[in-house]
Amino acid sequence: MGLHPQALLAWPLLALAFPSVALGFLDETLEKATKSEGYCSRILRAQGTRREGYNEFSLRVEGDPEFYKPGNSYRVTLSAATPAYFRGFTLIALKEGKEGDKEEDHAGTFQIIDEEETQFMSNCPVAVTESTPRRRTRIQVFWTAPPAGTRCVILKASIVQKRIIYFQDEGSLTKKLCEQDSAFEGVTDKPILDCCACGTAKYRLTFYGNWSEKTHPKDFPRRTNHWSAIIGSSHSKNYILWEYGGYASEGVKQVAELGSPVKMEEEIRQQSDEVLTVIKAKAQWPAWQPVNVRAAPSAEFSVDRHRHLMSFLTMLGPSPDWNVGLSAEDLCTKDCGWVQKVVQDLIPWDAGTDSGVTYESPNKPTVPQEKIRPLTSLDHPQSPFYDPEGGSIKLVARVVIERIARKGEQCNIVPDNVDDIVADLAPEEKEEDDTPETCIYSNWSPWSACSSSTCEKGKRMRQRMLKAQLDLSVPCPDTQDFQPCMGPGCSDEDGSTCMMSEWITWSPCSVSCGMGTRSRERYVKQFPEDGSMCKVPTEETEKCIVNEECAPSSCLVTEWGEWDECSASCGMGMKKRYRMIKMTPADGSMCKTETTEAEKCMMPECHTIPCMLSPWSEWSDCSVTCGKGMRTRQRMLKSAAELGDCNEELEQVEKCMLPECPIDCELTEWSHWSECNKSCGKGHMIRTRMIKMEPQFGGAPCPETVQRKKCRIRKCLRNPSIEKRRWKEAREKRRSEQAKKDIDSEQYPGCKMRPWTAWSECTKLCGGGIQERFMIVKKRFKNTQFTSCKDKKEIRACNVHPC
């Protein structure tokens, strides 16, 4: 039985598709494999029904690169075009020309993004397959390229759809990537492909955050979690905002570390010839809320033949330098049309500018700067995404890009589906909103009830909360909105409606003691225009009780007055009404009748009226005058206290950095005075000290390190030879003592030092000069303080004999 060498991935799927056939196939074919062969090699020889020349399925590497950079990560997508689908799949990466029989035949490593969709094959862990067999149209994984020297790699996929297994040697399910030549290092591996589409297309980007305490509970920052403002653009292939394996620009760094889009927008606008639309959407505080409470942020942008790529990013905050986004997403199709819809699930990536490992790690700049890379679950044990088993990181967001219109003559002759055509014909809807982008609001609350319960015109109100004012120089619009209204059943446009007056006050009770009745009336202000009769009641009657006990010992009181307004504007409150004593009991006893009555009242639920807050104050001065400190800002609660507890934070604290604090020069203690440079007569002595810490950041400079003073031993004898011998003996004694000190100072705690260097030449030939020598750190042990393990320097006197 001949076996197709490229039937790489089909066997597990064949078993999925037709299990009864699979058993016979296994008996007939795989029994020929030796017991020493691994499961991956048996997959290579699996064979099933296949179909050539199709294009429903495709294997795509993000950005469609022709080359890979060793060690870089790439998003790999396996997808089916509508209305096609697939139930199962297998994905594997092989070195070019290899059969996959051996472990070293496989190239790079895959990383699971969504465990509900994908998993590693239990018997072939280098391959990725489906978690459960079901209908699907798309899966995604990350693939990390192999080390340098691997040369070309073949990514291969197989598909199970109904009862057909698809795989193809040079087709849409096979992707060849070759190692990028070192001569092109630093050049983007995005393909230089031209777009052949005509006219322009308009798209809407919608961002759905899924980062919350429920989905990512480890160390979740409850008070400060947010998504920064979205910033991006539609652009040409000549301009790349960011990419995996590239280095973050200053604009990307400021978004990644500070959540500030200002510098990024400045960089984008400097590329005006390569950019068509700047993409901007507001920040989200907190990071997640239900869609029925807060609409997902969105932005609209356009593309054309020259600028057919789109990129964006947003910071996951607080974090060291973590973001999500898309890089150079191509919206132009190979058929000279415009992509209808793109859906991408997002995991966070590291900008390579800060080395923090937790959400709120202190600033720790990465020096030198590292390349942009996706975060993994094995980065650091303290990471909030850490998983000791190396599982996938749960998705933190999803972005949906939908085409909403096409303009100008379109040159692709392949028609889209009906929904696509209808979407282009539908008029664009745009809600006018003059709110500046620097003002961050909550969603509007529902409209309140109308202030008029009759057909008199009243008004109703809705509110929203100002959550942040990013630029205090730009005023923010009102947080309240009013609209005219009338009571239920009243409308100026309804020709069959009666226009009624307000109710007149209740009449007095019909009795002065016991139970009676009272009434009130209203009248018709305008009869229906269609000539019909008014069926709305014009009179109301209700029972009333005055002085329940009609006895000589009872009080005579007035009727109850109207109820006061509810004590709360939302939620549960209290209301009261009053009456007065008209006459005390005839028998002279005390009046025991209540003159005040209270009952509970229920207003609309409080969550419909958000907290009303003042804008944030200016940031306070930094808590330190130099180095790292903290600063704060506050805001006031403006809404009434009766609204209940407001859970919004009223104070924020953030880190601040001022210029480094000055560090003064530090020196050792003075050495002992040297011996006199003369053995008789007048001479001088020298003492020295070493520099422990050079001055930094404007600190005090180092004072003198050598001092000398006069000395006189005794009068010189007339015989010079005796004096010369004594001088030589004293010099030898000093040298022996110094050598002993050198041996004792060879080792320092926490360090392994190299031997002392030879003494330098003396700075003077006579009259007292200086020599230096150095001891260099060879190895610094772990947990050693930097200041206790440094290069050493010694100074000594030399040529002290007179000139």
Return the amino acid letter for 571: G
Higher model confidence: residue 530 or residue 62? 62
Strand partners, 431: none
Mean of all residue pLDDT scores within the chain: 77
pLDDT at 402: 92
Note the pLDDT tens digit of each residue in 12-43. 433 433 333 333 333 333 333 333 345 565 45
- pLDDT at residue 234 is higher than 90: yes
Mean pLDDT of 198-213: 90
- pLDDT at residue 414 is higher than 60: no
* Residue 504: partners with Cβ closer than 8 Å, 6 or more residues away: 520, 521, 522
| pLDDT over 90 percentage in the chain | 11
pLDDT at 326: 92
**Structural class in CATH, domain 200-407:** mainly beta
- 57-179 has which fold? Immunoglobulin-like (2.60.40)
pLDDT at 233: 94
Residues in the chain: 803
- The encoded tokens of residue 483 equal 């609209």
- pLDDT at residue 53 is higher than 60: no
pLDDT at 678: 79
pLDDT at 301: 92
In angstroms, the CA 507 to CA 692 distance is 99
pLDDT at 676: 85
Mean pLDDT of 764-789: 76
Domain with CATH 2.60.40.4060 in the chain: 57-179
pLDDT at 19: 37
Note the pLDDT tens digit of each residue in 129-165. 888 878 888 888 888 888 888 889 998 888 876 555 6
In angstroms, the CA 721 to CA 120 distance is 93
The domain 756-778+790-802 is placed in CATH, from the list 3.40.50.10090, 1.10.645.10, 3.55.10.10, 2.20.100.10, at 2.20.100.10
Burial of 578 (0-12, 13-18, 19+ CB in 10 A): middle
Task: Give the relative orientation of helices 250-258 and 262-270 as an angle to the nearest 10 degrees.
Answer: 160
Note the pLDDT tens digit of each residue in 58-106. 888 876 777 888 887 888 888 887 777 888 888 899 888 887 778 888 8
Least confident of 205-219, 299-313, 319-333, 555-569: 555-569
Domain with CATH 2.60.40.2130 in the chain: 200-407
Higher model confidence: residue 324 or residue 334? 324
In angstroms, the CA 397 to CA 148 distance is 33
* Residue 242: partners with Cβ closer than 8 Å, 6 or more residues away: 248, 249, 252, 311, 313, 325, 327, 372
Domain with CATH 2.20.100.10 in the chain: 756-778+790-802
Query: How much is the pTM?
Result: 0.40
- What DSSP assignment string belongs to 393-435? PPP-EEEEEEEEEEES-----S---HHHHHHHHSPP-------
Strand partners, 164: 161
Note the pLDDT tens digit of each residue in 708-759. 888 877 777 666 666 677 777 777 777 776 665 555 444 566 678 888 888 8
